[in-house]
Structure 1
Amino acid sequence: MQGTEYLFIFFLGLCVGSFVNVLVFRFGFAERPQKRSRCMACDTEIAWYDLLPVISFFALGGRCRHCGSGLSIQYPLVELSTATLFTLAFALLPPALSFFSLLAFLSLCVFLAAFVGLVAYDMRHTLVPMPFLWWLIASASVASISQSIATASLSPLLESGLGAVALFCFFMLIVAVTRGRGMGAGDAYVGAAIGILLGFTRGIEAVMVGVWTGAVVGLLMLFAYSIFP
């Protein structure tokens, strides 16, 4: 049964990742997210069987069925990233579930989906949209509060508050020193959200690890975009 549960969570992550892709491509532009998907090259409406997460991209060879134009590698990358993160989050659930531990898991999934969407949006549009940031902060706060209630301890809340303030100030200091050339104020809000979710110690560790892994992932993404623009 547990294997089936993992498959379900992975499939759910693929579907959520597909919706995240829609937001990344359409948010802030004229086309509404609820409209049917169309090829950005020939404007042909895409059939449902060409919208299956990951499968359709590779079945079509990364190209539009109608005009043959290349599809962005972002589609499967975002879907697989979201599905993998959802599955890892599910693996962290305690054997004995409570309402608040389940709420913390769902909040973590929202956080992860928003984080993947924010990274993809920033890479594609070089912008950090505030609604994505508010989702990050809100979901991280709910997860922290749920964890505090589930463990009957104030430690998670204190750690979250300290982590949020420390990381926000750290990133804002970088913004001030570089005068916005190294990163923008939006990155400080991302740091605050990470601090809320992970606390002070783990938040600092995550930022340090993220600097190096981000560089590696960024290089891989740039290489992938050079093959599938």
Structure 2
Amino acid sequence: MTWFDEVSIALPWFFPMTAALFGALIGSFLNVCIYRIPKNESVVFPGSHCGCGKPIAWYDNIPIFSWMILGGRARCCGRKFSFRYPAIEFLTAALFLACWLSFPPGKAIAGAVLCSIVICAFFIDHDHMIIPDAFTIGGAATGVLLSILLPALHDQTHELYMVASARAGREAVLGMFVGSALVLWIALFAEVLLKKEAMGFGDVKFLGALGAFVGWKGAVFAVFGGAMLGCVWLIVALLFQKISGRSSQAGLRAETPDGQPAELGLGVHVPFGPMLGVASLLYFFGLNRWIDGYFGSLEILF
């Protein structure tokens, strides 16, 4: 019995709690990434600071709890902090905990990285209608590397680690190319039919990154599952906009083709990256059982 098994038996709460606490800390860092990366600012220097310019003390920068203790306001000047900051920290903690409880350690670690990439891409795309290369090209490279180092990410096991590693790496590369190629062709066909750009190239690269983590079947599902999620989100946002008359509060950003803010409706651009990311996580956390079975039945037919 290893020390890991001994600790798990003696203190069954230790590793899940560690995963959640670590997730909250990472969530705090993701907040920095979401805010600074679109501005091409360093995520390291300077340290966390208030909008008034004063540094935030470490005891006022404890994930989730500091926001609650301070009532969502800065100690130095009383400036309000968005509820989104603790929400992202809590979301990251919950997803890290879900990874640990759902998967063996290797896959849980890789899954935590996937969740972090999706969270950053989700909010940056929602806010700015872009997905930085750090989460697309960088995410794809990270997915392939983690697949090779942690073949359990693609459920590859073999008595020889090198064999399992090679198989997982193959799945990651295949998922990366199938995912990006599928979205690229959809975008090209849509552009021909609509006579205008229908999808940003960032979405193409982002699905390639997701495919490196969830394989080609997960990438294919992310496209069509993301489209379904997008339709639901769009319908809800349109209903809210119509009932409340507040387009800015409809929960879904929209822009004209030339990048100007717009109300939801025909002919405007909305972010698709969040839908791709959420669909890939749904696949990763359990829908793969049904989706993979569906693809298996198709293989039998052909």
Q: TM-score, normalised by structure 1?
A: 0.78
- In the alignment, structure 1 residue 127 sits paired with structure 2 residue 133: no
Partner secondary structure for residue 57 of structure 1? helix
Higher alpha-carbon Rg: 2
1:70 and 1:175 map into 2 onto residues whose CA distance is: 41
Q: State the partner residue of 1:98.
A: none
Q: Percent identity?
A: 27
- Does the CA-based 8 Å contact 2:187-2:198 persist in structure 1? yes
Offset of residue 212 of structure 1: 4.3
- The number of residues matched between the two structures is 217
2:171 and 2:222 map into 1 onto residues whose CA distance is: 14
1:47 and 1:56 map into 2 onto residues whose CA distance is: 10
Offset of residue 209 of structure 1: 3.4
1:188 and 1:135 map into 2 onto residues whose CA distance is: 14
Amino acid in structure 2 at the alignment position of 1:79: E
- In the alignment, structure 1 residue 198 sits paired with structure 2 residue 209: no
Offset of residue 213 of structure 1: 4.5
Q: State the partner residue of 2:147.
A: 144
Structure 1 residues 132 and 164: CA distance shift in structure 2, 3 A: closer
Partner secondary structure for residue 151 of structure 1? coil
* Farther off after superposition, 170-179 or 132-141: 170-179
Structure 1 residues 28 and 184: CA distance shift in structure 2, 3 A: same
Offset of residue 80 of structure 1: 1.6
Structure 1 residues 169 and 18: CA distance shift in structure 2, 3 A: same
Instruction: Say what the alpha-carbon RMSD is for the aligned residues.
Output: 3.1
List gaps (5 residues or longer) in structure 1: 95-100
- Does the CA-based 8 Å contact 1:36-1:45 persist in structure 2? yes
Q: TM-score, normalised by structure 2?
A: 0.61
Mapping of 1:1-229 within 5 angstroms?
A: 1-29=11-39, 31-34=41-44, 35-40=46-51, 42-94=52-104, 102=106, 104-145=107-148, 146-147=150-151, 151-152=157-158, 153=164, 155-176=167-188, 177-178=190-191, 181-213=197-229, 216=233
Q: Where does structure 1 differ by over 4 angstroms across 4 or more consecutive aligned residues?
A: 212-220, 222-225
Q: State the partner residue of 1:97.
A: none
2:228 and 2:80 map into 1 onto residues whose CA distance is: 30
Offset of residue 73 of structure 1: 2.5
1:163 and 1:171 map into 2 onto residues whose CA distance is: 12
